[in-house]
Structure 1
Amino acid sequence: MMIPTSAVLENGLRQDVTHIAGKIGERNLQHYDALREAERYISQRLQASGRPVNRLVMRVHDRDVANLEIEWKGTHQPESIIVIGAHYDSVQGCPGANDNGTGVAALLAAAEAFAQLSPRKTLRLVAFVNEEPPYFQGENMGSLVYARGAKAKGERIEAMLSLETMGYFSDEKESQKYPFPLNLVYPDKGNFIGLVANRASSPLLNQVAKAFEEARTIPFEKGAFMEALPGVGWSDHWSFWQSGYQALMITDTAPFRYPFYHTREDTPEKVDYPRLGQVTRALFKAIENLAFEP
């Protein structure tokens, strides 16, 4: 794998977040032209991997929106599928730099890093539409449509990693909040990345945590929780749980840490690009372990 230097990786992440959230800005069905502009930008960036982009169209409120997918067919176990996903829409009234320009930027970095490689298992990178309200956990949520379609086709998705709001960190005490009773267990400094799963996804959680330990790039906390706990299912991994797939979220914990969550102040300069780069490097190791190793 061609791992870029830290400076190159951080610069690429910054460029993608700045373009998506700074130049394009708010992108959703209420800002449809911007949503389509974001789709075109992401599609062009994914195409740079040399893989054709599958534009998976959904018709919502008489408008076409799309999930965007690229795939590496597995050389040894093509029926075993690893999905890495990030939503590219933003909530109304928000330019969406951290939520979720950071997740999309890491997804694009992975497309570049793995472009010339051949995984043992099938690897898919997917940019999802319509994660944010009013579509969140509804029939027109892009990842829910995708996961249901995979289930209907009998696809064996072994793992799904949701890249969600990954770029804000703080070394200040009490910068990290939690729903009770997690505050009794986890640290109060928001200087780590979180790995969040449901109980059924514990085996996958342990695999990804092992990869993050091996990467040794950034501190992390992990947990397999009841789905009803606030925040646990707040991204595209939830959609895969509904179809019985193991899935988890990689996140800075969003509203439990990020003061600009779902506001107009969620802008590119709020993102900690060096630490986002560290998270992205750990993600690369997780992908390597899941899709490339026997």
Structure 2
Amino acid sequence: MDIIRKAEIDSNRIKEHIGFLSAGVRQSRANLKHLDSSMEFIIGKFKAEGLDVSTQPVSKGKIKGNNIIGKIRGTASTDSILVVCAHYDTVWMSPGADDNASGVAALIELAGILSKIPIKKTVWLVATDMEEDGMVGSRFLAVENKDKIAAAINLDMIGYATETPGSQQFPRQLKENYAAIHDRLQAEGMKANFILNFSNANSAALRNAFDSLSRQYVPGMKTVTLEVTDDGKQFPWLFRASDHVSFWDQGIPAISVGDTAGLRNGGYHSRKDHMTALNYEFLTGVIRATLATVLAHSGDLTN
């Protein structure tokens, strides 16, 4: 489909988005000022593309936050929503360029593309808050909209990649369960040069779509795809550590797309998570693959 191949996904514009967001910590207890300015930045970008924007208050005890929802109305269906989400908060000490300004930048780029074309099904681009506090924002979103959300794509850390041999870690606990993937990566030199796309069994169709569409529309991008057992409860530290879990727990199909976080990015959850470490060509490819998956889910992908 030409719209996917011709979509203008500008790496310099992405750098500007990430540069603003990662100028400081984005957390209410550590830097409320920059968290608020980041929220206004995202809202402004969504509104500039003509999205219907609202905020959703979320909380955990005394801690409060806000999801940012940018809605693109479907031409044929408005009661079946595809959510594309990325959390915009950080841990207390990190500027969070990869975690997760990279995902939020993807939302902003998708807003600029999807707002200009007619799509059959409604899409919500959601910048979630308080992911680092236990997926609080996405849980509020999934619970309150359980009957509306058909599926979700979670983008969490999608910007770090390198061709350096040995740059990708593979936890020994996973070798038995995912031996074929381990052997493939080992044969290729354990390079951190792929995007990981995983889901539970209920989300296989969406996961397979992302995988096949990535090969079709971003042939230079390597993808590793896998299905986790028991909703990721066997290895929760790896497979239940981001916003996709909130949708799984409500029975909503969801995939998680990411660069494997601390298994390759040495700046993960630290002061070293800077924008200079990111691979913007790689990030652009992930956004293009996500765009293809959105259009396929909406029924707008004809070839």
TM-score computed with the length of structure 1 as normaliser: 0.90
Q: In structure 1, which of residues 173, 190, 195 is the aligned counterpart of residue 192 of structure 2? A: 190
Aligned letter for 1:28?
Answer: Q
Give the percent of matched residue pairs that are identical in Structure 1 and Structure 2.
Answer: 28
SS at match of 2:289: helix
Q: Distance in 2 between matches of 1:38 and 1:60?
A: 20
Q: For structure 2, list consecutive stretches of 5 or more residues without a partner in the other structure.
A: none
SS at match of 2:131: coil
Q: Distance in 2 between matches of 1:218 and 1:59?
A: 38
Q: Distance in 1 between matches of 2:139 and 2:63?
A: 18
Deviation at 1:185, TM superposition (A): 2.8
Q: Distance in 2 between matches of 1:60 and 1:136?
A: 9
Moved more, 178-187 or 90-99: 178-187
Match of 2:290 in 1: 283
SS at match of 2:221: coil
SS at match of 1:53: strand
Match of 2:49 in 1: 49
Deviations 1:224-256 (A, max 9, x none): 112122411221111101111000111001011
SS at match of 1:95: coil
Match of 2:27 in 1: 28
Question: Residue 162 of structure 2 contacts residue 279 of structure 2 at CA under 8 Å; is this kept in 1?
Answer: no
Match of 2:174 in 1: 181
Structure 2 residue 94 is the aligned partner of structure 1 residue 94: yes
Deviation at 1:165, TM superposition (A): 0.5
Q: Distance in 2 between matches of 1:275 and 1:222?
A: 17
Structure 2 residue 141 is the aligned partner of structure 1 residue 146: yes
Question: Residue 203 of structure 2 contacts residue 253 of structure 2 at CA under 8 Å; is this kept in 1?
Answer: yes
Taking a change above 3 Å as real, the CA distance of residues 4 and 11 of structure 1, as seen in their structure-2 partners, is farther
Match of 1:220 in 2: 223
Aligned letter for 2:257?
Answer: I
Q: In structure 1, which of residues 252, 255, 276 is the aligned counterpart of residue 262 of structure 2? A: 255
Deviations 1:197-226 (A, max 9, x none): 112211221122122122124111100112
User: When you count helix as a share of all residues, which structure comes out higher?
Assistant: 2
Q: Distance in 1 between matches of 2:121 and 2:115?
A: 15
Aligned letter for 2:92?
Answer: Q
Match of 1:18 in 2: 19
Deviations 1:147-183 (A, max 9, x none): 01112xx22x222000110111121222111232347
Q: How does 1:155-170 map to 2 (within 5 A)?
A: 155=148, 157-170=149-162
Q: Aligned residue pairs: how many?
A: 282
Match of 1:79 in 2: 79
Match of 1:104 in 2: 104
Match of 2:206 in 1: 204
Deviation at 1:73, TM superposition (A): 2.0
SS at match of 2:152: strand
Q: Distance in 1 between matches of 2:8 and 2:62?
A: 45
Deviation at 1:258, TM superposition (A): 0.8
Q: Distance in 2 between matches of 1:108 and 1:270?
A: 20
Deviation at 1:52, TM superposition (A): 2.2
Deviation at 1:288, TM superposition (A): 1.5
Q: In structure 1, which of residues 127, 133, 136 is the aligned counterpart of residue 134 of structure 2? A: 136
Question: Residue 85 of structure 1 contacts residue 126 of structure 1 at CA under 8 Å; is this kept in 2?
Answer: yes
Deviation at 1:4, TM superposition (A): 4.6
Question: Residue 87 of structure 1 contacts residue 100 of structure 1 at CA under 8 Å; is this kept in 2?
Answer: yes
Moved more, 208-217 or 241-250: 208-217
Taking a change above 3 Å as real, the CA distance of residues 269 and 117 of structure 1, as seen in their structure-2 partners, is same
Question: Residue 75 of structure 1 contacts residue 121 of structure 1 at CA under 8 Å; is this kept in 2?
Answer: yes
Q: Distance in 2 between matches of 1:4 and 1:120?
A: 18
Deviation at 1:287, TM superposition (A): 1.4
Moved more, 81-90 or 275-284: 275-284
Q: Distance in 1 between matches of 2:220 and 2:286?
A: 7
Q: In structure 1, which of residues 220, 233, 236 is the aligned counterpart of residue 243 of structure 2? A: 236
Aligned letter for 2:168?
Answer: Q
Deviation at 1:64, TM superposition (A): 4.8
Structure 2 residue 278 is the aligned partner of structure 1 residue 271: yes
Q: In structure 2, which of residues 146, 161, 164 is the aligned counterpart of residue 172 of structure 1? A: 164
Structure 2 residue 59 is the aligned partner of structure 1 residue 68: no
Aligned letter for 2:194?
Answer: F
SS at match of 1:185: helix
Q: Distance in 2 between matches of 1:33 and 1:62?
A: 18
Q: Distance in 2 between matches of 1:64 and 1:207?
A: 36
